[in-house]
């Protein structure tokens, strides 16, 4: 073997033994995607709960006894940013063993396939949500189905486990409960877990979107979605909820709260879920009035 061949082989073997690199799926283009995908410095919300998403799309990291849990994967092009944020926060993304998905839209599930390939994690969601995740396409009863597959599809996801409504799963010592909250999509699910620090524990709720948003021609008043949103808002308002999080961080006032962190922990608010639910009902009423 000549010198040049030996140098090439050595470089190849060194690269192969280096840190595993995330290979994201193709970039998804939408009117809000660039703004949503702006970088956001990761930060601890409370205890074992961290924010590792982008400026406009939430992704939550939960430390467990021996691994990590991730909630939502944002856009396809967000996966690399999420991986970088996890490393910046001091964790190894390869330790992620479970990924929980709120609802199967490209802006929250789009990065999950790449993150799952990278980590080998099991994906958890609701029964209806699993249908869309496994196909990468919206089901026909989704209010946004009318946008068409060219505007809504994402990479299909393998190894999806369905949790029933109010079913809990224990991942490396952390109990996470699924709460079905359909309306925004038929498969929407919210997630709840306990986060502790210095002997004080809080109930964290990752409340899924409750917004009455649809493709043109869809009427919330003509189908089950309006009643689903009403029932889901009630379910969220009744949860034990000390810290509210959601797929779009502006819904829980993330940037405003970050500016107030020197005044204590502004994310702790035991009426936040009730306020979130009431806001969703107001939004729904405006939509119904417009129909």
Q: What is the pLDDT of residues 42-78, one digit of tens each?
A: 999 999 999 999 999 999 999 998 999 999 999 999 9
Domains along the chain with CATH numbers: 29-290 (3.60.15.10)
Question: β-strand 96-100 against 68-71: which pairing, if any?
Answer: parallel
pLDDT digits (tens, 9 = 90+) for 79-121: 999 999 999 999 999 999 999 999 999 999 999 999 999 999 9
Neighbouring-strand partners of residue 204: 193, 243
Per-residue pLDDT, 263: 87
Report the share of the chain in percent with pLDDT over 70: 93
In eight-state DSSP terms, residue 38 is S
| Closest of 120, 70, 100, 104 to residue 177, by C-alpha | 100
Paired tokens of 250: 């502006």
User: For the chain, where are the alpha helices, taking DSSP H only?
Assistant: 3-17, 33-36, 79-88, 106-109, 112-119, 127-135, 149-152, 225-237, 254-258, 272-290
What is the pTM for the complete model shown? Answer: 0.92
């Amino acid at each position: 073997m000549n010198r040049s061949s030996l140098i090439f082989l050595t470089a190849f073997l060194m690269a192969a033994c280096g840190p595993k690199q995330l290979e994201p799926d193709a970039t998804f283009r939408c009117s809000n995607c660039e703004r949503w995908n702006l970088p956001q410095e990761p930060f601890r919300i409370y205890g074992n709960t961290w924010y590792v998403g982008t400026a406009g799309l939430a992704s939550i990291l939960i430390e467990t006894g021996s691994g990590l849990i991730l909630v939502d994967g944002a856009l396809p092009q967000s996966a690399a940013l999420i991986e970088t944020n996890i490393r910046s926060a001091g964790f190894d993304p390869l330790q992620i063993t479970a990924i929980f998905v709120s609802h199967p839209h490209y802006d929250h599930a789009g990065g999950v396939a790449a993150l799952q390939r990278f980590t080998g994690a099991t994906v958890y969601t609701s029964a209806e949500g699993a249908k869309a995740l496994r196909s990468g396409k919206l089901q026909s009863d989704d209010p946004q189905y009318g946008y068409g597959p060219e505007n809504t599809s994402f990479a299909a996801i393998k190894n999806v486990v369905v949790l029933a409504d109010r079913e809990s799963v224990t991942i490396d010592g952390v109990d996470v409960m699924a709460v079905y909250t359909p309306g925004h999509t038929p498969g929407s699910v919210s997630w709840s877990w306990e986060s502790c620090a210095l002997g004080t524990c809080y109930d964290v709720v990752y409340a899924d979107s409750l917004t009455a948003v649809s493709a043109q021609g869809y009427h919330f008043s003509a189908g089950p979605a309006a009643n689903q949103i009403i029932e889901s808002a009630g379910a969220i308002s009744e949860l034990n909820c000390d810290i509210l999080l959601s797929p779009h961080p502006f819904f829980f006032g993330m940037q405003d709260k970050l500016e107030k962190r020197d005044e204590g922990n502004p994310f702790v608010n035991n009426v936040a879920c009730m306020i979130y639910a009431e806001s969703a009902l107001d939004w729904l009423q405006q939509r119904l009035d417009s129909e």
